[in-house]
Chain A
Amino acid sequence: MTTSRAETAMNYLLLVVVCAFALGPIVVVLVTSLQPDLGGGGIAWGNYAEAWSQGSFARYLRTSALVSATVLVVALTASVLAGYAFGTMTFRGSTVVFSLVLVGIMVPTEAIVVPLFYDLRTLGLTNTLWAVAFPQMAQSIAFGSYWMRAYFRTAPRSLMEAARLDGASERRVLWSILVPVGRPAIVTMTVLVFMWTWNEFLIPLVMSPNGAYRTAPLALALFQGQHVQATSLLAAAAVLVALPVVVVYLFLQRHFIRGMLEGAVRE
């Protein structure tokens, strides 16, 4: 297709403008985070150290890591197992159960969080790792079972049958053949679940009212309330909270984009 040079130049300009729009607010935060709070020149790297200690971010980032790891381990395992059953086995009730799982992808957190809090409070389980992690596992399992089923359905049958003829058990076929081959699908799910859990706000806010399991985003919101004037400290804190997901994104961005676009396209 022939296009004029002017049009090509226009397109590059458009690319730059749209990128600037996307990056502008991020640049504002980065620049603010390095500004000395009391005016004056120079780059104040110290803001990061100060935000880190004043906001106790070491502790809250650790909580976030713990919650994310717990959710990931359980949700991934349960999703791989469920996806294997949904994707490779025919059994009665499969369609019904799978439709129920699909429902869960659409349900907003607001619809479950109210009774979750009051019921777990009755059981004395609020302010525990489980209260914060289990609801998020359930949400991730809904997506994960759907996502892994899609992979197992396309997994090479010939490979599975060959392994079976060689006497491999169902379990062995899953763990030593299908899971290694399905690494891309599993990595995609891992990064998505990590991002969702790390960034989640409502569940830890509600399920840990005393702050015992306060995650990093919550700590940031709290930090904002306490440091309304200290803009540069707040900006530094925001960077600290965003950094883990952004770093993973920079390395595995294909997985993020693919997962968020394809995962959205339901059958």
Chain B
Amino acid sequence: MTPRWRPWLYLVPAIVVYGAFLLYPIGRSVQFSLYEWDGLGASEFVGLANYLGVLTDAGLRAAFGHALVLIAFFALLPLALGLAVAAVLNRARVRGLGLFRTVVFVPQVLAMVVVAVAWRAIYAPDGPLNTALTAVGLDSLTRAWLGDYTWTLPAVGIVGTWVQTGLVTVLMLAGMARVPREQYEAARLDGAGPVREFVALTLPSVRGEIAVALTLTIVAALKTFDLVYVMTAGGPGNSTTVPAYEVFQRAFRTGQVGSAAAVAITLTVLIFGLNLVINRLVEPREDR
């Protein structure tokens, strides 16, 4: 018989490292968020004032607003594209799907800094994007993509679309492959067109995959840091700043450590809430 303390012996290394470098710092973050501190001098207890700041500070509200825009580009657009591509591919047997998966997944394994460098080159004033626009006679559309108050945030968003679309497509293909072929044949015999087929058969079968895709991509959008740090540094002005970038700036550049911690905790609560909501939305069907 195993003594009662045996399992804990195996757990010790994991618990020590995880407790000291993950759980404990979260607690400390919560504590930090209740104080006003510049990182050097004395700190002052301010209660929930820093959280109030998340709601009232114009800079922070802008940052969370930008995160919402990024969610559209990181999550919704890839989901629409991924569903469409996978649904079309699923209708006819094609060879080479293995190679396809390998290729479209590549953006996921590149460091975000590398991705940012690549896209900065593409968006450069004399870069491939403007060159291509000029070549097809759309000179009027060329601009400094990363120096424009209106276009820089969407330009950063498109990079997210590029990174996430492959992952979402692969997920959708995996889900759709589970639907038995006979069901499609039956639907076609009943006279269902491609649209009916998609809505009635394909879409319900990938509910679970949609939930996973949305969770992964929305969390990625909310956590965006490297991309903004390297591509735009939040600029021009503060038109592309995001919550994670504000955490870094406030904690390590502008001496607003308490506020930074409050933003970080808010971000964490949002991510947990989102996970919960998305999983709830999917569950009832899966229980059948």
Q: Which of B83-116 contact A (CB under 8 A)?
A: 85, 88-89, 91-94, 96, 100-115
Q: Is residue B244 contacting chain A, with contact meaning CB distance below 8 A?
A: yes
> B18 touching A19 by the CB < 8 A rule?
no
Please indicate the chain A residues that have their CB under 8 angstroms from the CB of B96 in the complex.
15
Please indicate the chain B residues that have their CB under 8 angstroms from the CB of A36 in the complex.
none
> A85 touching B7 by the CB < 8 A rule?
yes
Q: Is residue A58 contacting chain B, with contact meaning CB distance below 8 A?
A: no
How far apart are the CA atoms of A237 and B230 in the complex, in Å? 14
Q: Is residue B69 contacting chain A, with contact meaning CB distance below 8 A?
A: no
Q: How many residues of B contact A (CB 8 A)?
A: 95
Contact indicator per residue, chain A 199-212, by CB within 8 Å of chain B (1) or not (0)? 10110011000000
Q: How large is the interface on A (under 10, 10 to 19, 20 to 34, 35 or more residues)?
A: 35 or more
> From A246, which residue of chain B is reached at the shortest CB distance?
B109
How distant is B1 from chain A, measured CB to nearest CB, in Å? 12
Q: From B103, B222, B275, give the contact of A23 (CB < 8 A).
A: B103
Contact indicator per residue, chain A 233-267, by CB within 8 Å of chain B (1) or not (0)? 01101100110011001100100110011001100
Please indicate the chain A residues that have their CB under 8 angstroms from the CB of B7 in the complex.
85, 89, 91, 94
Q: Is residue B4 contacting chain A, with contact meaning CB distance below 8 A?
A: yes
Q: Is residue A154 contacting chain B, with contact meaning CB distance below 8 A?
A: no
Q: From A1, A94, A134, A217, give the contact of B114 (CB < 8 A).
A: A217
> B248 touching A21 by the CB < 8 A rule?
no
How distant is A35 from chain B, measured CB to nearest CB, in Å? 11
How far apart are the CA atoms of A78 and B275 in the complex, in Å? 27
How distant is A245 from chain B, measured CB to nearest CB, in Å? 5
How far apart are the CA atoms of A108 and B26 in the complex, in Å? 10
How distant is A241 from chain B, measured CB to nearest CB, in Å? 6
Q: From B11, B119, B219, B225, give the contact of A25 (CB < 8 A).
A: B119
Q: Is residue A18 contacting chain B, with contact meaning CB distance below 8 A?
A: yes
> A101 touching B18 by the CB < 8 A rule?
yes
Given the known inter-chain contacts A3-B92, A22-B103, please indicate yes or no for A137 contacting B21, CB distance below 8 A: yes
Contact residues of B: prevailing secondary structure: helix
Contact indicator per residue, chain A 90-119, by CB within 8 Å of chain B (1) or not (0)? 011010010011001011111111111111
> A15 touching B109 by the CB < 8 A rule?
no
Please indicate the chain A residues that have their CB under 8 angstroms from the CB of B128 in the complex.
28
Q: From B39, B111, B215, B275, give the contact of A217 (CB < 8 A).
A: B111
Please indicate the chain A residues that have their CB under 8 angstroms from the CB of B13 in the complex.
74, 77-78, 81-82
> A253 touching B105 by the CB < 8 A rule?
yes
> B104 touching A18 by the CB < 8 A rule?
yes
Contact residues of A: prevailing secondary structure: helix
> B10 touching A1 by the CB < 8 A rule?
no
How far apart are the CA atoms of A224 and B146 in the complex, in Å? 15
Contact indicator per residue, chain A 175-217, by CB within 8 Å of chain B (1) or not (0)? 0000000000000000000010011011001100000000001
Given the known inter-chain contacts A22-B106, A114-B29, A115-B32, please indicate yes or no for A220 contacting B14, CB distance below 8 A: no
> From B97, which residue of chain A is reached at the shortest CB distance?
A15
Q: From B22, B31, B115, B264, give the contact of A104 (CB < 8 A).
A: B22
> A224 touching B120 by the CB < 8 A rule?
yes
Given the known inter-chain contacts A101-B18, A137-B17, please indicate yes or no for A117 contacting B103, CB distance below 8 A: no
Q: Is residue B68 contacting chain A, with contact meaning CB distance below 8 A?
A: no
Stretch at the interface among B51-59, B136-144, B161-169: B161-169
Given the known inter-chain contacts A82-B10, A108-B268, A115-B32, please indicate yes or no for A28 contacting B15, CB distance below 8 A: no
Please indicate the chain B residues that have their CB under 8 angstroms from the CB of A242 in the complex.
110-111, 114
Sort A-B residue pairs by CB-CB distance and give the 10 closest, nearest first: A115-B28, A82-B14, A138-B21, A112-B25, A199-B111, A85-B10, A3-B92, A138-B22, A78-B13, A201-B226
A-B contact pairs, 8 of them (CB 8 A): A10-B88, A15-B89, A25-B107, A101-B14, A107-B271, A111-B29, A135-B22, A249-B106
A interface, CB within 8 angstroms of B = 1, 3, 7-8, 10-12, 14-15, 18-19, 21-23, 25-26, 28-29, 32, 74, 77-79, 81-82, 84-86, 89, 91-92, 94, 97, 100-101, 104, 106-119, 134-135, 137-139, 141-142, 145, 170, 195, 198-199, 201-202, 205-206, 217-218, 220-221, 224, 231, 234-235, 237-238, 241-242, 245-246, 249-250, 253, 256-257, 260-261, 264-265
B interface, CB within 8 angstroms of A = 2, 4, 6-8, 10-11, 13-15, 17-18, 20-23, 25-26, 28-29, 31-32, 39, 85, 88-89, 91-94, 96, 100-115, 117-122, 124, 128, 162, 165-167, 169-171, 174, 181, 184-185, 188, 208, 212, 215-216, 219, 222-223, 225-226, 229-230, 243-244, 247-248, 251-252, 257, 260-261, 263-265, 267-268, 271-272, 275
